[in-house]
Structure 1
Amino acid sequence: MKKLILATVLSFVGFMATAQEAATDVQNEETIVVADVQDFEEISVSDLPEAVAAAVAKDYPTASIDKAYKNASNQFKLELSLTDGSSGTVYADAEGNWIEM
């Protein structure tokens, strides 16, 4: 008799779990700005907006900007070198916000 009651309770719990799972609607509204990598043209590092240069100085204090590129959407591709010898590429908009590529 105990097994029958336990089986009934477990069945009920299983049905409730699947019913609740189907009723749950999760919406993820995340905006990612994506730039077309092919459209960048090289510019002089001195032509970078002050906000972009300030963002590099703030977030990468040991980095130097080796090359800078700009696209038609006013987004910037920066090739950086760190004092420890490592290097990398970062992307930013004209306001100095980092963009994921």
Structure 2
Amino acid sequence: MKKLILSAALIMGSLSTYAVTAPLQNPQNQSILVQERYVVVETVPDAVKAALETAHPGAILEKAYINEKKEYKLEITVGDQKATVYADAEGNWINK
């Protein structure tokens, strides 16, 4: 009977080594999302205004921002809906 209990304990002990969890990933190796900084501007280039009027006729430009890459963040109102759109200095739309 002692041999049966001892052999069961050995078997259970050997199976527990397979239940070890994988180590956590090193957080230094993970990529970090950097939030771009935008600064409020009073005016936007004519190309951006033209692109806005073409894409969203009747849109009202509420606020405009610019970042270091010369990309514009535009907060607009179309009718009763508000939206945020992004464009470069040439008036090309950017998907964010």
Q: Same fold (TM over 0.5)?
A: yes
2:40 corresponding residue in structure 1: 42
Kindly indicate which of the two structures has a greater share of residues assigned to helix: 1
| Offset of residue 38 of structure 1 | 3.0
**Structure-2 separation of matches of 1:37 and 1:98:** 19
Instruction: Name stretches of at least 5 consecutive residues in structure 2 with no aligned partner.
Output: 1-33
Which residue of 1 is the match for residue 67 of structure 2?
71
**When the two structures are superposed, what TM-score results if normalisation uses the length of structure 1?**
0.59
Structure 1 residue 94 corresponds to structure 2 residue 89: yes
Instruction: Pick closer, same or farther for the CA change 1:37–1:96 going to 2, 3 Å.
Output: farther
Higher RCO (Cα < 8 Å, 6 or more apart): 1
Q: 2:49 aligns with which of 29, 50, 53?
A: 53
- For structure 1, the 5+ residue unaligned runs are 1-35
Query: What TM-score, normalized by structure 2, do the two folds share?
Result: 0.62
**Based on CA coordinates, which of the two structures has the bigger radius of gyration?**
2
% same residue: 40
1:65-88 deviation digits (Å, cap 9, x = unpaired): 0000001110000000012x0010
> How many residues are paired up?
63
